[in-house]
Amino acid sequence: MGMGDEPDIRVGHAERQRALHALNEHFTAGRLTLLEFDDRTARATVALTRSELDALFSDLPPLPASQSPAGSPLPAASASPSAPVPFRQRIPRDTIMALTPFAALFLFITVGHWMFFLLIPVTAIVLYSGDDDDDDD
């Protein structure tokens, strides 16, 4: 390597994640077959330098500006990591609530105790308590 040569810039986890996201966008748009997508995502996962990531996009058009910064094939990194989704928003509350009466009926039939029907309001209280859907600020 001569004095004027600059070594290739190494990439980190964030750049690899952006590359994987961009590959997913191209796959979803139909620009990559499943085999190509698998191969390129495997190569992106182990890429060490920027040129290794850039080579994955050499035959692909740049993503729209809303998905990628100024002509780069990689989408922009978010300024801050996204906050994790609270557990209360991840559970399918409506489905659980809809199935609770059936579970109570099943328990009543099999065990024979009427108190299992109290599961219905208790489940509703547990699942929906603390919701502030009517913010009056």
Q: What is the tens place of the pLDDT at every residue in 72-128?
A: 545 443 334 455 656 555 667 788 888 889 988 998 899 888 888 888 888 888 877
Query: Looking at residues 9-31, what average pLDDT do you find?
Result: 89
Number of domains comprising the chain = 2
Mean pLDDT, rounded, of the chain? 76
pLDDT at residue 59, rounded to an integer: 92
Residues 31 and 1 in one domain: yes
SS (H, E, C) 22-74: HHHHHHHCCCCCHHHHHHHHHHHHHCCEHHHHHHCCCCCCCCCCCCCCCCCCC
**Rounded Cα gap, residues 99 and 33, in angstroms:** 41
Range of the domain at 7: 1-83
Residues 30 and 74 in one domain: yes
Residues 67 and 105 in one domain: no
pLDDT at residue 84, rounded to an integer: 63
Classify residue 134: in a domain, yes or no: no
pLDDT at residue 126, rounded to an integer: 83
Classify residue 4: in a domain, yes or no: yes
pTM over 0.85: no
The string of pLDDT tens digits covering residues 32-65 is: 888 888 889 889 888 889 989 989 999 999 888 6
Classify residue 135: in a domain, yes or no: no
For residue 22, count CB atoms less than 10 angstroms from its CB and return exposed for 0-12, middle for 13-18, buried for 19 or more.
buried
Residue 41 sits at the vertex; the CA angle it makes with 6 and 62, to the nearest 5 degrees, is 65
pLDDT above 80 for 3: no
Residue 116: C-alpha distances to residues 29, 98, 127 (Å): 50, 15, 17
Classify residue 136: in a domain, yes or no: no
Q: What share of the chain in percent tops pLDDT 70? A: 69
Considering just the CA atoms, what is the radius of gyration of the chain in Å? Answer: 25
Residues 24 and 71 in one domain: yes
